[in-house]
Structure 1
């Protein structure tokens, strides 16, 4: 995906807003009909509503097709969520509300446009887009040179029109081929934690104290709002939760981008601990449970994995057991090797160092061994 910012004139912005609202009203109406008649297949729903949507909502042929597809896709997503148990058991309130009412679309929900409704003029950095008023030509957009290069080379299929407050964006689908993974000269071991979000085997430390202070401050504000028990407080709680989530995601993006850049520049792979099931394996004090449950361990690993894949950097997950208790020099493993959270001292050979850096080195060493096994040729029969 590539996101570009539109720079419409006031007249163009009014036309875009009217178009977005008309398309979402049409989609909500189509959803109500699909729910009442049990029409969840695209051909059947389009046949039943095509003429009605064109006449009632002022849409041309292709926007009607996109609105119907949006409805069908929404019900397919809902079905998958129900089957996966994401909305609870069939007896839960969320489940019953989801299956008991038709899907509704916000007036400003994103609307997909294909190449029949939207065309790009890359040299002029403008787009031409269908609206309920007329086809608007010459709407300027802004993006970086790298984004423009990606759009020209790899844009395929639909682009979503998105409104955020008074700002307008187009999110274009790009089919970017994955680069071939190179043979690593060595590995960067990454140890993830709470006090230090990430520590590499090179000794680079990404501290989590600032993010921890931010989250504790958000928790105090949430507690204050929860005590009020008003509708306004509930809305503000939801906004705070989203803001906190976006902040943590931004931090993880920044950390993973820097680690992948170093790995790509030095021709090395990236290795992390496999932390699946950590909540079941680790016993914590009550005051630590909320921190562990809300900390974005998994998200940081996901960001590292997909950014490494996009850059052609090898990526491995290795066994996480005793990485902070094992001496990387002599191999001695003992809990007493880590007398405090921050310090490591081997009881056998006397190696001393920061505990998180030692863990990163152990992760790196395990990746070296694992990569040999992964790339070893299969034995002949």
Structure 2
């Protein structure tokens, strides 16, 4: 499963989980926060606190809903879930200010933990994989090239010509790595 900002989660089957306007709500709250912080009155500070809690509840609810859908689908199809190991992502990437604001308000770790605990309850396996180059690698031929991504949502392989939504292609690469990692870890368990 590919985690992203435009589509919060995309599965290897092509299902996009957008969070129903989560980014729009965050933007609206950010603008309201900016105006209230400029006032700097006690009532504005109280309202800021209230807004911050409301935004956090909305984001948590969206993450719970997405996690439930993903785990339910994995349970129904009898498959596991492969997630990107995004630890340290905020420190590794260099972005412009608007992108940094979006990245820092993105609660991918929380979504991952919701998926992990819901999957554990449902008996669905979860594997964390290295996300390096999953968005630039072709899920058909394995060719890796920056030019495979001509746009944010577009993936076209410069080697074999395969075309797909970029998030779906990345999700398929993550799924393939998850299967490989799962096989290696279970082969080691069987040998022991």
TM-score range relative to shorter protein: over 0.9
Structure 1 distance, partners of 2:189, 2:65, is: 39
Stretches of structure 2 lacking an aligned partner (at least 5 in a row): none
* One of 87, 106, 118 as aligned partner of 1:276: 87
Structure 2 distance, partners of 1:315, 1:263, is: 10
Residue 283 of structure 1: SS of its match in structure 2?
A: coil
1:333 corresponding residue in structure 2: 144
Structure 1 distance, partners of 2:100, 2:139, is: 30
| Residue correspondence of structure 1 range 145-160 to structure 2 within 5 A | none
Q: TM-score, normalised by structure 1?
A: 0.49
* One of 282, 300, 317 as aligned partner of 2:111: 300
Structure-2 change in CA distance of 1:366 and 1:380 (3 Å): closer
Structure 2 distance, partners of 1:289, 1:244, is: 18
Is 1:199 aligned with 2:10? yes
| Residue correspondence of structure 1 range 255-266 to structure 2 within 5 A | 255-266=66-77
Q: Whose helix proportion is higher, 1 or 2?
A: 2
Deviating runs (4+, > 6 A) in structure 1?
none
Q: Report if the CA contact (8 A) 2:19-2:63 is conserved.
A: no
The two structures, once aligned, show a CA RMSD in angstroms of 1.4
Q: TM-score, normalised by structure 2?
A: 0.96
Q: Deviations over 1:93-149 (max 9, x none)?
A: xxxxxxxxxxxxxxxxxxxxxxxxxxxxxxxxxxxxxxxxxxxxxxxxxxxxxxxxx
Residue 127 of structure 2: SS of its match in structure 1?
A: strand
Q: Whose strand proportion is higher, 1 or 2?
A: 1
Q: Deviations over 1:265-300 (max 9, x none)?
A: 111001110000101111101222111111111111
Q: Report if the CA contact (8 A) 2:3-2:9 is conserved.
A: yes
Larger radius of gyration: 1
| Residue correspondence of structure 1 range 49-64 to structure 2 within 5 A | none
Q: Report if the CA contact (8 A) 1:191-1:356 is conserved.
A: yes
| Residue correspondence of structure 1 range 78-89 to structure 2 within 5 A | none
Shift of residue 379 of structure 1?
A: 8.4
- Kindly tell me the number of residue pairs found equivalent between the two proteins: 192
2:154 corresponding residue in structure 1: 343
Is 1:210 aligned with 2:14? no
Residue 376 of structure 1: SS of its match in structure 2?
A: helix
Shift of residue 209 of structure 1?
A: 6.5
